[in-house]
Structure 1
Amino acid sequence: MFFSPVCKPSQEVKFGVARNEMVNISCQVDADPDDVKFNWMLNNTLETAEIRSFNSNGSTSIVSYVPKYKNSYGVLLCWGSNKVGVQTEPCSFNVIPASPPDAVSNCTIRNQTLESLSVSCLPGDSGGLTQIFFLEVYNSDIQKLHWSTASQVPSFHVNNLPSSTRFTLNIYANNKKGRSPSVSLTTYTLTLPQKEAKKQGKLI
């Protein structure tokens, strides 16, 4: 069945970009026939401006965008047309000033044992860039870094910890524009009686 263009789902739609930095934004549509003519436009609170420089191939169009001024940020709209008709809902891409990520939130410590524990959090805003999450585990009794690691998601499992020990967990995110504020949690590994009580469903 022939149909006019519609946006493909699951496209990257948020881009954090510094001034005078180039970002390539890809607009993909489903269409039949897939010989699509594209249009691009910048829309923000100050202006609506047509973008004339971009490259298209079939059902994909790519614009290399450089925000040079404060009012260069906003929403880039992309839509296509084929022999059937014009796309009714444009694809939207938010171009925002790049910034360090926000702090993680709602952190939960679980699965505490004699020598291990897990912690997971909700990610904060990425600042428009890819972010990496870091965990630092400090032995609270001697104020010494015991272990550190990085992950693409804010979820960690820590092994080989000494039992009956208090720890401070520092969790933060980082992208190429900087580091988020740290979130600190205090926790501990179990002693042997605590572990046995947990197995028996008792509370100490």
Structure 2
Amino acid sequence: MVQAIINLVVKQSLFAAEKFSDQKESFQRFEYSLLLQVSSGSSITSRLELPVLRREDTRSLVSCFTNNNNISQQLSANTTINVLVPPVSVRIEEKRKKLVDGKIYLFNCAAEDFYPSIEYTWFLNQEILPHSKPTKGSNLSTLEIELTRHQHGSILSCRAFNPEIPDVSLQDSLVLDIYYKPVLKLELGAGLNLHNIRQSSDIYLECTADSRPALQHVRWKKDGFDITEEKKKGRLVSRTSLVIQNISSSESGRYCCTGENSEGETSSNIITVDVKFSPECSEQPENILLQKKASIQVTCGMSSNPGVEKFSWKFKNEKFEVDIPESLYTVHENTSVLKYFAHSDRDYGTLLCYASNIIGPQTKPCIFRIIQPGSGSLVIVCSTKLVSPVSVLVNCQNTKEDGLYNLQVSRLGNPVLLERNITSLKGNFKVFGLLPGSSYQARVDYLDGNNERWTSLLNFTTIELDKSIPIQDSLQESLPSVLYNV
């Protein structure tokens, strides 16, 4: 309710008759009192009181008329009533029920029935939005904003007010319902140390999800491949957890979980599971054929995490067992090479290779059976034939029909660094690209139909380069640098 008091002052002769008209036909709805006051001098004041002003009275014209006789024309004075009016309503237009993470939206806010002007302010959870400014001189305000999943459930508000009466305002609000792809987080189970996961222990991974709408599918992956539940192997899979019981070294790898909803599919962070285990043999037991008075280099390779700290060798047969001195073998990281010499019949038997690391000692040794050709256990016999300073033939025969050959050629004294490596169903090989006058070891592994491996080791030295032979001829023969069957 607004009250207006209007004072109209008319100057005239002090002795003139006094009469005022208030045009009450124009203000029939107002309750008013007309007061006449004669003051000292020649001024008479008429006071019009309008106790209740309404919204529709804005910009109304009030006129006062007066005269002091019936002959002369009336005098008049006018004024306009400017009522300050706050908005009667405000609304955010086009309230969307579904909003999407990462998209830019335009929101319009409109106010109605205000005077003389309107201003707007946008809020997000009662905080003024950055880069948004009140819009002046318009009944519409537009907000441009990029929405993110973090704003889901927030309240977007538009406040409208007349700047002449800022304490009186209206506002409209919208609860933001933002849809977004799953946000997944993968964690190792409580109490587990990612840097000390040991073989045969149990681990579990937990996958938590923030998703709108709810997740439809969850999958587990290791090294990019889906993981399926295998209860017999101790692998238990659910939407929120992966349990691996009695974990083995083969289950080391990069794990993650993936989730999908109507907005798309995403993956969690990756946890690398590095299973620690004591040394294990890299290869199956070997049967090595060795002539009497001949020597070989036996390579013992280990899988170990962390690396091997110590190697040891033993030899045993039916009559005795003895530790092999460290001076007879070398160690390089996870590999040990033993130089073994068969002096007599008592040097045939089994070589045992052991290793240990900080996790513990090896549970089962690597086994190499040293067999004398002609002892009744002959399976494979191999020989070498020097062809040129840069090539050699390797021919193998066996007493079984089905099997697979693998030939490895290395520099003598360094069996780890291979010069050539090839696998074939045939036992005849030709090696090109060797160095003239150099010593090599040829290792032929024969895997029979029973998955038993037999090994023949041969040492040879290539022919010295004859300087009388043109260099170009030698180069032509050494061009092929791969091993193939003949």
Q: TM-score, normalised by structure 2?
A: 0.22
Hey, what does 1:71 align to over in structure 2? 346
Distance 1:76 1:49, change over 3 A: same
Corresponding position of 1:22: 295
Residue of structure 1 in register with 2:276 after alignment: 2
Equivalences for residues 20-169 of structure 1 within 5 A = 20-52=293-325, 53-99=328-374, 125-126=379-380, 131-132=396-397, 152=426
Query: In structure 1, what is the Cα distance between the partners aligned to 2:397 and 2:361?
Result: 40
Q: SS of 2:288's equivalent? A: strand
Give 3-state SS (helix, strand or coil) of 2:307's partner. Answer: coil
- Unaligned runs of at least 5 residues, structure 2: 1-274, 384-394, 399-424, 429-455, 458-486
Letter of the 1:131 counterpart: C
Q: Which amino acid aligns with 1:3?
A: F
d(CA) in 2 for partners of 1:65 and 1:78?
Answer: 13
**Residues 1:91 and 1:128: Cα distance change in structure 2 (over 3 Å):** farther
Distance 1:126 1:100, change over 3 A: farther
Cα distance in 2 between the residues matched to 1:32 and 1:79: 15
The alpha-carbon deviation at position 18 of structure 1 amounts to: 1.1
* Matched letter for residue 125 of structure 1: V
Q: Shift in Å at residue 2 of structure 1?
A: 1.4
Contact residue 39 and residue 79 of structure 1 kept, 8 A: yes
Contact between 1:101 and 1:126, CA under 8 Å: does it hold in 2?
no
Q: Structure 2 CA distance, aligned partners of 1:48 and 1:35?
A: 24
> In 2, Cα distance between the equivalents of 1:84 and 1:61?
19
Alpha-carbon deviation of 1:39? Answer: 0.7
Query: 1:153, CA displacement in angstroms?
Result: 5.4
Amino acid in structure 2 at the alignment position of 1:55:
T
Residues 16 and 99, structure 1, Cα contact 8 Å, conserved in 2? no
> Do the aligned partners of residues 72 and 100 (structure 1) sit closer, same or farther apart at CA in structure 2, a change above 3 Å counting?
closer
Gaps in structure 1 of 5+ consecutive residues? 103-123, 134-150, 155-174, 177-204
SS of 1:98's partner is coil
Report if aligned partners of 1:35, 1:82 keep a CA contact under 8 Å in 2: yes
Give the 4+ runs in structure 1 shifted more than 6 A: none
Larger Rg: 2
Percent of aligned pairs with the same amino acid: 24
SS of the residue 2:361 aligns to:
coil
Instruction: Determine helix, strand or coil for the equivalent of 2:311.
Output: strand
Letter in 2 for 1:5: P
User: Can you list the C-alpha shifts for 1:47-93, whole angstroms capped at 9, x where unaligned?
Assistant: 10111120011111110100111111000000100111000100000
Query: 1:65–1:9: structure 2 CA closer, same or farther, 3 Å change rule?
Result: same
RMSD over equivalenced CA pairs, Å: 3.2
Instruction: Give the partner amino acid of 2:396.
Output: Q
Do the aligned partners of 2:350 and 2:369 also contact (CA within 8 Å) in 1?
Answer: yes
The aligned residue for residue 105 of structure 1 is none
The answer to which structure, 1 or 2, has the higher relative contact order (CA under 8 A, 6+ apart) is 1
CA distance in 2, matches of 1:128, 1:3: 38
Find the residue that maps to 1:71 and give its secondary structure: helix
Shift of 1:35: 3.3
Could you list the per-position Cα deviations for residues 133-153 of structure 1 after superposition, in whole angstroms to 9, with x for gaps in the alignment? 7xxxxxxxxxxxxxxxxx825
Deviation at 1:131, TM superposition (A): 2.0
Kept in 1, the 8 Å contact 2:279–2:308? The answer is no
Counterparts of 2:363 and 2:352 in 1: how far apart (Å)? 12
2: CA distance, partners of 1:100 / 1:41: 22
**Alpha carbons of 1:100 and 1:152: their partners in 2 closer, same or farther (altered >3 Å)?**
farther
